[in-house]
Structures are given as C-alpha cells and as structure tokens.
C-alpha cells in the first residue's frame, strides 16, 4: 500500500517535472527563434515592398516606351501626321481639323512615384519589428538560451523512475 502511494506521488511529481521541462523548452525555443528570425523576416518584407514598387515603375516605363514607339512610327511613316503635329505644336488649326488625341506632351507624362499600395502587414509584423531592434533581439536570444539551459538541467536532475534507492546506490 505504501509503495503504491509512493508511486502515485512520484508520478505526480514526474508529470509536473515533465510539464515544467516542456514549458521551459518550448518557451526557450520560441524566444530564441523569434530573436534570430525577426530581423530577416522584416528585411524580406521590406525587400518585397521595394520589388513591387520597382515592378510598377517598370510597367510605367514600358507603357511610355510603347506610346513613344507608336509616335515615332507615325512621324517616320506618315507625312500627314508630321504636318498635323507641327501645326498643332505651333497653334495653327484648320477649321475642319480636330486636335490629335495624343500629342507628344500627353504621351510623355512625368513618371509618377509608382509605389503600389502595400498589402496590410500580417499580425506578426509589429512583433517582428519590435524584436528586430538590436537590444531586444540580443536579450531575447539570451533569455531563450537560458531557458533552454534550465530546461536541460531540469531534465538531467529529475529521476527517471520512482525507485530512489537505485539512485542512492550509484
């Protein structure tokens, strides 16, 4: 009877020890991972945003190049278009002539700052931005390593079985 109570008591202590070990191990691993991965994640998000802005600008430049190609072909191949463009630029209009729908000024608008609307940051973004600060990052990594060390020491210190006499005999 006494052995059964002792075994139950050991099981409860062992369950508590196991729970404490896993809690410390998971918390330490999580803090270590956040401290190590927060800065690269933020840098990757910033690079993705810059890439989207450059792609939008490249699309604008490609559209401008296409518009200029059409005008260059018209100026080179169509003398009537050239004469009409010159009259329009000088301000002369024939009574039956409508202005050209796209003059050179309209084809070459100044390139706007092509920053696309950024998608909303995920919920983890503020956390990663906070943990990417150098001091917070170093403290987080240090605390994570300490928690992992404590968990491993705890794991080594707990007995593997309920028989404490075997441990004393060693």
Give me the DSSP letters along 10-48.
Answer: HHHHHHHHHHHHHHHHHHHHHHHHHHHHHHHHHHHHHHH
**Quick check: is 165 in a domain?**
no
Is residue 166 pLDDT above 70, yes or no? no
> Is the pTM higher than 0.85?
no
The two tokens of residue 74 are 């018209």
**Quick check: is 38 in a domain?**
yes
Query: How many domains, in total, are found in the chain?
Result: 1
- State the residue range of the domain holding 49: 14-159
Task: Indicate if the alpha-carbon torsion angle 159, 161, 167, 170 is positive or negative.
Answer: negative
Is residue 161 pLDDT above 80, yes or no? no
Least confident range from 25-29, 153-157, 158-162: namely: 158-162
Say if residues 115 and 109 touch (Cβ distance below 8 Å).
Answer: no
Segment 87-129, tens digit of pLDDT: 888 888 778 877 766 555 555 556 666 556 666 677 778 888 8
Segment 30-77, tens digit of pLDDT: 999 989 988 898 899 889 888 988 998 899 899 888 888 888 888 888
**Quick check: is 1 in a domain?**
no
Compute CA distances 39 → 9, 35, 48, 51, 141, whole Å. Answer: 46, 8, 14, 18, 12
């Amino acid at each position: 009877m006494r052995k059964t109570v002792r075994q139950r008591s050991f099981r409860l202590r062992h369950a508590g020890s196991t729970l404490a070990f896993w809690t410390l191990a998971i918390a330490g691993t999580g803090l270590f991972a956040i401290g190590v991965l927060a800065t690269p994640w933020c840098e990757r998000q910033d690079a993705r945003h810059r890439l989207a802005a450059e792609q939008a600008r490249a699309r604008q430049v490609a559209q401008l190049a296409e518009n200029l190609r059409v005008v260059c072909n018209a100026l080179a191949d169509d003398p009537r278009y050239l004469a009409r463009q010159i009259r329009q630029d000088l301000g002369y209009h024939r009574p039956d002539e409508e202005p050209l729908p796209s003059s050179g000024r309209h084809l070459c608008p100044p390139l706007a700052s092509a920053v696309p609307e950024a998608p909303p940051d995920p919920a983890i973004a503020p956390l990663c931005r906070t943990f990417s600060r150098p001091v917070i990052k170093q403290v987080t990594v240090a605390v994570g390593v300490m928690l992992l060390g404590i968990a491993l020491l705890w794991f080594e210190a707990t007995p593997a079985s309920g028989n404490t006499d075997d441990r004393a005999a060693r």
